[in-house]
Chains A and B, each alone.
Chain A
Amino acid sequence: MTISREEVAHLARLSRLAVTEQELDRFAGQLDVILQAVARVGEVAADDIPPTSHAVPLTNVYRDDVPTPCLTQEEALSGAPDAFEGRFRVPRILDEED
């Protein structure tokens, strides 16, 4: 195994996902398959091959600093589960401060 159950539990906590004990085992196994597949690619890469982060050989793709139309407040909030006075309403986030 290249990823432990504990690591999966840690990632689940960071992502605020409630993962059951059984799921931890299942996901650890699934993630392990993915990581092993990626590791095999790594085996092929020699020292003279730099890591690739982008599939296209492009640099410096920019836009000019010119405003484009925004969504209206109504449109912006239309997909939100809850809103109040023009703002997204979300549950209090625990464990982040104090």
Chain B
Amino acid sequence: MTTTALPSYEDAIARFEPVIGLETHVELGTRTKMFCGCRTEFGAEPNTQVCPVCLGLPGAIPVANRAAIEATIRIGLALNCDIASWCRMARKNYFYPDMPKNFQTSQYDEPLCTDGYVDVELDGTTYRIGIERVHLEEDTGKSLHVGGATGRIQGATESLVDYNRAGIPLVEIVTKPVPGLGALAPEIARAYVTELRDIVRSLGVSDVRMEQGSLRCDVNTSLNLPGAEWGTRTETKNVNSLRSVERAVRSEIIRQSSVLDEGGRIIQETRHFHEDRGNTSPGRSKEEATDYRYFPEPDLVPIAPDPAWVEELRAALPERPSSKRARLAEAWGISATDMQSVANAGALELIEETIAAGASPAGARKWWMGELARRANELAVDLSEVGATPAQVAALQKLVDDGKLNDKLARQVLEGVVAGEGDPAEVMTARGLEVVSDTGALTAAVDEAIAANPDVAAKIRDGKVAAAGALVGAVMKTTRGQADAKTVRELILERLGV
């Protein structure tokens, strides 16, 4: 542990060139596991979604899930990869209780998809990130380390294991090493994972939620002096949010530059990212690749996708998220930056559906990016789980457009909708929030305001129409905000004969 102060990021990046690489794991959203028919529901009681196959009991024989193979090929195609015409699964042997078989069924030197790319946009410039491989494997069980103080394995006396997750199909996407990004490396790493997430989400093959672990990322970083050979890389794990991807690369660049500056050398190792401190610490030393003793899985026959099937899948790929964003930004009349905020907030599809349900682009965007985004943030849930549907938001906006709700009342109605009180019209009626459109009641309130403020009334009669604002305010107060300000203003001028 060094005691000298770390250099600033700007200092580090001025002297060294980073090379990054990203390994991303996507847990597929199939109904059943990779090699058996066990369900894959998140949050089930421990060890209730297991069978002889995923528990590795003697004699159990795996059979591959067609939907997982298809999903992996679609991911490969969306990432511009070549699809293998013939490949095999392999056993990756290791001794650790997260896999009861003592091996993980994975792919080794014959991945299903190879040699693709993703175009990533940052501040108007496109960066092409090469994809080395996309392969299919199975997820591991979850271990709970007990007996220690920290929940980590250090100091723990035993581990409690739940195999519900063991055997869920997992797709690993590995980039080629990416040099030449300079100071932008951390931001581009983040932009890449964001784009990858959007692409996979658009395929509908995973919910790609980093906080639930269905999208996980390991970040490789190395530094070299300009013109020199690439340095030794470290692999940072435990990077559990998009923001952490950027921070992990940045902190590794700073740490490695400090080690190199002091004449030290970088050790090839796995490091853990700490969300709270924003830096990494060394993890377990990497076993040599040969220690896994990979060999072709004898219980699973080779995968040989029919080229016609692959072409069918290629033809049916959805619109690329980047093209869709560009198309919708134009249709909605918003800037690329605003569209990026919409996408980052997970609001794109919601706004699109709200517009399809009849709302204007501006109206739809206003509610999702305003009140509802704020509410989702407070509740720490995804925008899609905030409690309002696109149809409800469109209905709310229609009530506003029809003059039945003003902005303030609409917010209160939305609050009721989110709280599960029903559709906007029901909430409006139940809470008595409709704009007062009864002219009789409104006229009485206006007359009352005029009588109570004779000075203001006199000014208005003298032609100082701007003074009407004070009377509008008074009327809004007596109607508890349930009046349309424009109507009130017109009524005041009418009653005063102006």
Question: A residues engaging B (CB < 8 A)?
Answer: 14-16, 53-54, 56, 58-73, 76-77, 79, 84-93, 96-98
Contact = CB atoms under 8 A, between A and B. Distances in A.
B38 A70 contact: yes
Contacts of B163: 76, 88
Contacts of A71: 50-52, 55
Interface string B136-164: 00000000110100001110111111110
A92 B64 contact: no
B182 interface: no
Interface residues of B, number: 61
B46 interface: yes
10 contacts: A54-B298, A60-B306, A63-B37, A67-B37, A69-B51, A70-B50, A71-B51, A87-B47, A89-B161, A92-B159
A87 to B, nearest CB: 4
B303 interface: yes
The 9 closest A-B pairs by CB, nearest first: A68-B37, A53-B296, A65-B67, A62-B66, A87-B160, A59-B304, A86-B46, A88-B161, A97-B284
Given A73-B48, A86-B46, A63 B66 contact: yes
A98 B154 CA distance: 8
Interface of B: 30-32, 36-39, 45-52, 55, 57, 63-69, 86, 88, 93-97, 100, 144-145, 147, 152-154, 156-163, 282-284, 291, 293, 295-296, 298, 300-306
A68 B38 contact: yes
A98 B284 contact: yes
Contacts of A93: 95-97, 153, 159
B162 A60 contact: no
B304 A60 contact: yes
B282 A98 contact: yes
Q: Which of B37, B49, B67 has the most CB of A within 10 A?
A: B37
Given A53-B88, A62-B69, A86-B47, 14 more contacts: A14-B94, A53-B298, A60-B305, A62-B65, A66-B32, A67-B39, A70-B39, A70-B48, A86-B48, A87-B161, A89-B159, A92-B157, A93-B153, A97-B284
B301 A54 contact: yes
Contacts of A68: 32, 36-38, 51
B301 A61 contact: yes
A73 B301 contact: no
A38 to B, nearest CB: 13
B51 to A, nearest CB: 5
Contact of A73 (B47, B51, B154, B157): B47
A91 B157 CA distance: 7
A72 B301 contact: no
Contacts of A61: 63-64, 300-301
B31 A62 contact: no
A69 B293 CA distance: 33
A78 B67 CA distance: 32
A64 B302 CA distance: 17
B412 to A, nearest CB: 44
Contacts of B298: 53-54
B162 to A, nearest CB: 5
Contacts of B55: 71, 76
Contacts of A73: 45-48
Contact of B97 (A67, A86, A90): A90
A78 B186 CA distance: 49
Contacts of B46: 73, 85-87
A89 B160 CA distance: 5
B307 to A, nearest CB: 13
